[in-house]
A and B are shown apart, each in its own frame.
Chain A
Amino acid sequence: MNDQPERDVLSVRDLSVSFVTRERTVRAVEGVSFDLAPGEVVGLVGESGCGKSVTSLTILGLHEQPAGRVTGSIRLGQQELVGLPNSKLRHVRGNRISMIFQDPLTSLNPYLRIEDQLGEVLELHLGLKGGPARQRMLEILKQVGIPGEERLRAYPHELSGGMRQRVCIAMALLCNPEVLIADEPTTMLDVTIQAQILELLRDLRRERGMSILFITHDLGVVAELCDRVVVMYAGRIVEQGPTAELLSRPLHPYTEALLRSTPRVEVPGGGQLHPIAGLPPRLSGKPLTECAFAPRCARVREGCRQGEPALTSTPEGRLRRCIIPVSEMTERA
């Protein structure tokens, strides 16, 4: 995608989010920057608490109270979203960016039939009612693989988990958004259904040229869907690069460790598992005095303790936050 002259649809620059509670300040996201090109699927990867979901919720201004303190910039095309009042942000959400979540049942109103859930969105955002609205609903449901009018009369509980996620995707697509943010949308689904939903997302990207920010902890899903990957640890980006290269030749010890601790279904005995010792750090408001991964890193050395490494670029344009020479990282692979 690098050779395309098109502008990025979404551009996040130096984004930091902190939450202040009575006891302490938690800096959940620290200086995160990345771009999403038209029609590109970018995976945001990391373990619980790494800041991937906070990043995505910040893009949509969807923090729960107490709201986080946000600095930096999030640009959607020409429009700056940081600091935008909620009334204006509401117009952006749904129309230009949509989001789907892990649990489709909590995203759907249990008291509303599918036609009413979808109808509400159409009326609110596009002013469509009656026949034209119905036409649009049927069209979109067909696109997400739910054919037939009878499903419109169904309540969410009457649908399977996979069908519910399809309805959520339909709802997200109603206004033809430029960007879809998908937060672990297949995590609760069975593998055969997950494969169907991934296929659907790939089709939608191909047919509509939609950009997708895909948040997940599953490196297998990343491999099959994403063009580019952003790996987060302790609120920071530690590595970023094209999917195939990053997964086959990780340049940060954390990415390497994640891959080495994932059981492989294609390798006899599930492969060798190398657990990452210890736990991720507790995030505080204070700046780090060492690399965030140093306490758990198998390749740790003296220099790692002397301040936090910067995010630097390799000649091929990959990014990594590590002082170990690239040649050393790639030797073993």
Chain B
Amino acid sequence: MSQADALLTVEDLRVHFDVAGGTLKAVDGVDFQLFPGETLALVGESGCGKSTLAKALVGLNPITSGQAQLNGQTITGISRQSRRRFRSELQLVFQDPYASLNPRFTIAETLGEPLLLHGKATRQNVDNKVCELLSQVGLDTELRRRYPHEFSGGQRQRISIARALAVEPRLLLCDEVTSALDVSIQAQILDLLRSVQRQRGLSYLFITHDLGVVRYIAHRVAVMYVGQIVELRDTESLFEAPAHPYTKALLASIPRVARAGTGGERKPLAGEVPSPARPPNGCRFHPRCPEVFARCAQEAPALYPLRVGAPGPSSGPIPQGQSRCFLNE
């Protein structure tokens, strides 16, 4: 697909914060595109900048430089007034559905408000619309007179999703939406998100630290480390043949059910994620990298296209992608 087809285009986006003794470069030059009907997962450990990036896209964090376009229209660095127009295109769903639902609103009120505000319903048909939304997210319409505290965590997350869908967005930013849920409920929510995507052709920017979830739900994956994307791949090739040493380490450290009885054989990645206020010189991963060589400490690698013939799955077309490592130059 070409640039013009992209629903969301992010170009050299930077979000820097002034902190005591310097600048914290939370997001430091991020580029990617998101296509209609696609799920792009943004993964990485705490402090990699994935949530800061999502907040910047909806105007909750100031942008230092760079820009983002939704449908060809710039959505960064614009006034609150003009941002309003994009609210109906771009919606957010958060980790904690209890904190993001108004405890004093019934479910009908919670869903009715955005419907009326964005002109998606009138006073006459708002109740019907609310019922439609509830059945789409798999909730009993009889429950709409109840308050958030009367629902379980999974049900509340369904309500948050229904509220986001109310304004008929094209893009949903999902920030750790299943992290607070038990696995059996998480599976229900993931299935719901998949079926909603099929029905509405929605795109998801899916932020999570859980790589099992990523493999299940994402079409492509951007791996972030200290404010930058270090690898951008289609999901299956990332999991089958990761290119960047950080991605390899990340995948290796996930505990796996299939490894029962073999525990303790692997050597975990040493050290910790450096602070984005003091990123290492050269490649930001070099102090922890098992494949480090002299150049890594001196020069910062760019995001190199993974050439045809680069590591890929044994069958099928050779995947394209990008990796920020001299080994892939």
Contact = CB atoms under 8 A, between A and B. Distances in A.
Contacts of B103: none
B143 interface: no
Nearest to A162: B272
B187 A276 contact: yes
A306 interface: no
Interface string A153-174: 0000000111100000000000
Contacts of A195: 252-253, 255, 266, 268-269
Interface in A242-297: 243-244, 247-248, 257-259, 261-271, 273-277, 279
Contacts of B251: 265
A218 interface: yes
Contact of B184 (A198, A221, A258): A258
B78 interface: no
B324 to A, nearest CB: 18
A275 B257 contact: no
A315 B214 CA distance: 40
A9 interface: no
B213 A263 contact: yes
A224 B259 CA distance: 6
B263 A223 contact: yes
A190 B255 contact: no
A160 B184 contact: no
Contacts of A267: 215
A258 B254 CA distance: 18
A223 B188 contact: no
Contact of B260 (A161, A248, A277): A248
Nearest to B186: A261
B260 A193 contact: no
Contacts of B184: 47, 257-258, 261, 275-276
Interface string B230-271: 000000100110000000011111111111111110101110
A194 B256 contact: no
Contacts of B183: 47, 217, 258, 261-262
Given A194-B255, A199-B264, A220-B256, A47 B216 contact: no
A333 interface: no
Contacts of B185: 275, 279
B216 A225 contact: no
B37 to A, nearest CB: 17
Interface string A44-68: 0001100000000000000000000
| Best-surrounded residue of B190, B210, B213, B255 (most CB of chain A within 10 A) | B255
A160 B255 contact: no
A48 B257 contact: no
Contacts of B303: none
| Best-surrounded residue of A198, A219, A264, A275 (most CB of chain B within 10 A) | A275
A192 interface: yes
A267 B183 CA distance: 17
B258 A191 contact: no
Nearest to A193: B272
B55 interface: no
B72 to A, nearest CB: 32
B182 A48 contact: yes
Nearest to A268: B236
Given A47-B182, A275-B187, A265 B272 contact: no
Contacts of B250: 191-192
A202 interface: yes
A95 interface: no
A257 B257 CA distance: 14
B212 A264 contact: yes
Contact of A191 (B236, B253, B266): B253
B212 A263 contact: yes
A176 interface: no
Contacts of A264: 212, 215, 256-258
B210 A263 contact: yes
A71 interface: no
Interface of B: 45-46, 152-154, 182-188, 190-191, 209-217, 236, 239-240, 249-264, 266, 268-270, 272-273
Interface of A: 47-48, 160-163, 190-196, 198-199, 202, 217-225, 243-244, 247-248, 257-259, 261-271, 273-277, 279
Given A162-B272, A224-B256, A276-B188, 14 more contacts: A192-B45, A192-B250, A195-B268, A220-B255, A223-B258, A223-B260, A243-B260, A243-B261, A247-B260, A261-B184, A263-B210, A264-B257, A268-B215, A275-B191
28 contacts: A47-B182, A160-B272, A163-B272, A190-B45, A190-B46, A191-B45, A192-B249, A193-B45, A196-B269, A198-B268, A217-B182, A220-B212, A221-B255, A223-B255, A223-B260, A224-B255, A261-B183, A261-B186, A263-B213, A264-B215, A268-B240, A270-B213, A270-B215, A270-B217, A273-B191, A275-B185, A275-B188, A276-B187
